[in-house]
Amino acid sequence: MVNTMKNNLQNDTVRVKQVCYPHLSYVPLILNILLCLVTVSTSGNAHQHSVKMATKMSVVTCQIADIRCAKTVTSAYAPNGDLWRLWVLNNTMWYQISDDHGASYTQPKAVPIAAENISARNENRPKIAFDNNRGVYLSWAMRREKKYTADIRFSYSEDYGKTFTNAITINNDNLLAGHSFNELHVTEQGDVSIVWLDGRLSHQLRKQGKKAKGSALYLGQANPRKGIQDFTNVALANNTCVCCRIAIDENKQGKLAVFWRHIYGDNIREFALLTLNETQQSSNNLPVMQQISFDHWQIDGCPHQGGGISIDEQNQYHLVWFNQGTQGKGIFYAHSKDQGKSLSKPVAIGTQIIQAIHPNIVVSDNKVTLVWMAFNGETHELWMQQSQDGGKSFNEATILAEAEQGGDRPFLIKQGKKGKQHLVSWLRFNEDHWTQLL
Amino acid sequence: MTIKIAAITNSLKKLLLLVVVVILLFIIGLPKITNAKSLANPAMLVKSDKLITEKPLNKIHLTALKQHYKGQRWLMVFWSVDCPPCFQELAMIQTLSEQGANLPIVIVNADDSDDISHERRNVIERFKLSHLTHLYFVEGQGAKSRYIVDPGWYGELPRSYFIDAAGKFNGKSGLISKEALNSWLIKSK
């Protein structure tokens, strides 16, 4: 099963995108190429010259494996303290490793599996996780031939990324239906959990001529290193929003908590939370879920805004979300001591007038860190706010970084379950991958 | 002698390069000038119900549209290839559009990604909306484009703006009803 395909793309410098004068969109391609050639021919070093010009024009000439040209990046710490980053270019996943929290990285390496149509834009992106025995696990959504259809895919490495298994499909319905927005969690012992939004039920309903409301939340579990290769496919909830990413974390009892945007009533899009617990099932044999937000955002559409969850040492759930409801507009933070049955009063975060969106959260001990993006009409900003008392009070919000051409959603990670330091990861389009310890 | 020939060849090469550059600059500049003229006078844009085809949404184009529709109701619809309800809205516009020409509708793709430009065109063709005015968000300019239209819009889709005769933008997120669409556009005619 292990694919030992040599990583021969590593040092490939073939250009995937020649963008010398992109603003001249009406210039025929051939003339644009001529212009590029003229530019390059007058330079001693084509690559250096291109990059220099790119800085002036805010355009990057993309080489294969240039992270600046990616649309998303996923960062995660391995148990040994290495920081991994994963991104997609030209239907290939690439990774790099840093042993100094992102100050420097190893050379990019292609994940040695066959190229496929990987979803890596906006709310969708590949995920990466680790076990405690040099295992590296990847999960992503692969777009299929029909609009809004995809499969959840999985591959792993037993040798810290040197080789990867052939990719397999996790959803077991064999339907050309929507399966997307995957989240990945791996325990130290290699127990793999993948949660995703699944369209099999709505697909079947529509085939019967019935109306469907949203997608379903599905869970797949396996432990391939212990010989459990086949992933389970278990429904966790029905009627979820179809286009917002999910957030997951493991609680102090080792149970997975899932936080997602649900559809209540007549298209009321509110956030919901569940914790996997075999002993507590609702009447429809699905896990008990708690409604978290009550902002009353009624929209028959796509918010494209998932939430964030992080669980602290006292098993307190810290949550952040975005809504535009009649009862609540903007970013909100709240925490719960009882897995969402009751909630602290939601606190508004960020400034609405500068478009505060896409929040994320991480917590360790009493330190709660929140980040989000904003746009002031000219510049994209990365904002941060922290609490040192478990979310009871927050210090003043500050701007961490700016981006000229926007960026991917920002994410916060920590080193292991007990990591004290929080790292923010923000891909600035055509600029760089910006990280900082907080 | 050899050196002289080499020098002449070198000069000829430089001259040729210069000529190529001048020709290219002329070709590049021409459509820009043509475009600027047509935008300066919105009336020049009006041939049918299509004012601008597949142009970036920017202040210039938005101003031209506002000027053109001054004193009448019109509709702006923002959509994305990642938004299933947007396709329902495009289908409704297609149906309405087949019933009558010259609808005051402007369709804007909000994906701000070069990767989907081909898909974007396919969708417009599939819903037979090529005859309408349609624009798109330039890659990396999504937030800026949204801000130009409405600083209070956070990117949720579909997003429709019902613009009244006084030029006031009334935004609504999510799929709009057939009735609302019909009523707004029929009354506007």
CATH (domain of B77): 3.40.30.10
Using the Cβ of A121 and the Cβ atoms of chain B, whether some distance falls under 8 Å is answered with yes
What is the C-alpha to C-alpha distance for residues A438 and A420, in angstroms, rounded to an integer?
10
A300 in Cβ contact with A374 (< 8 Å): no
Size of interface A-B (CB pairs under 8 A): 90
Check whether residue B4 and residue B48 sit in a common domain: no
Question: In whole angstroms, what separates CA B9 from the centre of its chain?
Answer: 47
What is the C-alpha to C-alpha distance for residues A311 and A53, in angstroms, rounded to an integer?
46
Q: Which of B87, B89, B156 has the highest number of chain A CBs within 10 A, making it the mutation to test binding with A?
A: B156
Across the interface, whether the CB atoms of A301 and B144 are under 8 A apart is answered no
What is the C-alpha to C-alpha distance for residues A177 and A218, in angstroms, rounded to an integer?
14
Check whether residue B9 and residue B94 sit in a common domain: no
What is the C-alpha to C-alpha distance for residues A195 and A185, in angstroms, rounded to an integer?
9
Is the pLDDT reported for residue B1 higher than 60?
A: no
> How many domains is chain B partitioned into structurally?
2
Closest to B105 in 3D by CA, of B185, B187, B186: B185
Using the Cβ of A26 and the Cβ atoms of chain B, whether some distance falls under 8 Å is answered with yes
Show the tokens assigned to A213.
């409301």
Check whether residue B53 and residue B102 sit in a common domain: yes
Check whether residue B104 and residue B16 sit in a common domain: no
Is the pLDDT reported for residue B26 higher than 60?
A: no
pLDDT for A416 equals 78
Helix extents (H) in chain B: 2-40, 42-45, 59-68, 84-99, 117-126, 142-149, 178-188
Is the pLDDT reported for residue B188 higher than 70?
A: no
Domain that holds residue B125: 43-188
pLDDT for A53 equals 31
pLDDT for B12 equals 62
Query: A4 vs chain B: nearest CA distance in angstroms?
Result: 31
User: A283 or B124, which is more confident?
Assistant: B124
Check whether residue B93 and residue B165 sit in a common domain: yes
Q: What letters, b where the CB count within 10 A reaches 16 and e where it falls short, cover A408-434?
A: bbbbbbbbeeeeeebbbbbbbbbbebb
Closest to A20 in 3D by CA, of A52, A45, A64, A66: A52
pLDDT for B98 equals 86
Check whether residue B33 and residue B66 sit in a common domain: no
Q: Which of A27, A242, A355 sits opposite B84 (nearest CB)?
A: A242
pLDDT for B155 equals 94
C-alpha torsion angle, residues B21, B24, B30, B33 (rounded to 10): -50
pLDDT for A82 equals 97
pLDDT for A281 equals 66
Is the pLDDT reported for residue B2 higher than 70?
A: no
B11 SS3 class: helix
pLDDT for A37 equals 37
Check whether residue B36 and residue B95 sit in a common domain: no
Residue % of chain B over a pLDDT of 70? 70
Instruction: Report in angstroms the alpha-carbon separations of B183 from A64, B50, B75, B176, B178.
Output: 51, 21, 12, 12, 8
pLDDT for A61 equals 76
Reported as type and span, the H/E element at residue A321 is: strand A317-324
Q: Which of A24, A27, A38 sits opposite B21 (nearest CB)?
A: A38
- Calculate mean pLDDT across residues B105-131: 92
Tens digit of pLDDT for each residue in B55-113? 899 999 999 999 999 999 999 999 999 898 999 999 999 998 888 767 899 999 999 88
Tens digit of pLDDT for each residue in A23-66? 333 334 344 333 333 333 322 222 233 333 333 345 677 777 89
Is the pLDDT reported for residue B137 higher than 80?
A: yes
Within 8 A of A357 by CB-CB distance, chain B residues are 154-155
Check whether residue B123 and residue B161 sit in a common domain: yes
The structure's pTM equals 0.82
Query: A103 vs chain B: nearest CA distance in angstroms?
Result: 25
Q: Which of B28, B83, B112 sits opposite A302 (nearest CB)?
A: B83
Instruction: Report in angstroms the alpha-carbon separations of A339 from A289, A311, A334, A421, B101.
Output: 10, 10, 12, 24, 56
Check whether residue B53 and residue B90 sit in a common domain: yes
Nearest residue in chain B measured CA to CA from A30: B24
What is the C-alpha to C-alpha distance for residues A106 and A22, in angstroms, rounded to an integer?
31
Check whether residue B27 and residue B48 sit in a common domain: no
pLDDT tens by residue, chain A, 438 residues: 334 333 333 333 333 333 333 333 333 434 433 333 333 332 222 223 333 333 334 567 777 789 999 999 999 999 999 999 999 999 999 999 999 999 999 999 999 999 999 999 999 999 999 999 999 999 999 999 988 899 999 999 999 999 999 999 999 999 999 999 999 999 999 999 999 999 999 999 999 999 889 999 999 999 999 999 999 999 999 999 999 999 999 999 999 999 999 999 999 999 999 999 866 666 678 999 999 999 999 999 999 999 999 999 999 999 999 999 999 999 999 999 999 999 999 999 998 888 999 999 999 989 999 999 999 999 999 999 999 999 999 999 999 999 998 999 999 999 877 788 999 999 999 999 999 999
Interface predicted TM-score (ipTM): 0.78
Check whether residue B20 and residue B51 sit in a common domain: no
pLDDT for A104 equals 97
The 10 Å Cβ neighbour count of residue B101 is 9
Using the Cβ of A143 and the Cβ atoms of chain B, whether some distance falls under 8 Å is answered with no
Check whether residue B19 and residue B35 sit in a common domain: yes
A321 in Cβ contact with A311 (< 8 Å): no
Tens digit of pLDDT for each residue in A115-162? 999 999 999 999 999 999 999 999 999 999 988 899 999 999 999 999
pLDDT for B45 equals 36
pLDDT for A64 equals 76
Residue in the block written with tokens 């990280």: A435
Does the N-terminal peptide bond of residue B158 adopt cis geometry, omega within 30 degrees of 0?
yes
A341 in Cβ contact with A350 (< 8 Å): no
Is the pLDDT reported for residue B10 higher than 70?
A: no
What is the C-alpha to C-alpha distance for residues A423 and A436, in angstroms, rounded to an integer?
6
Residue type, A121: R
What is the C-alpha to C-alpha distance for residues B80 and A350, in angstroms, rounded to an integer?
26
A59 in Cβ contact with A70 (< 8 Å): no
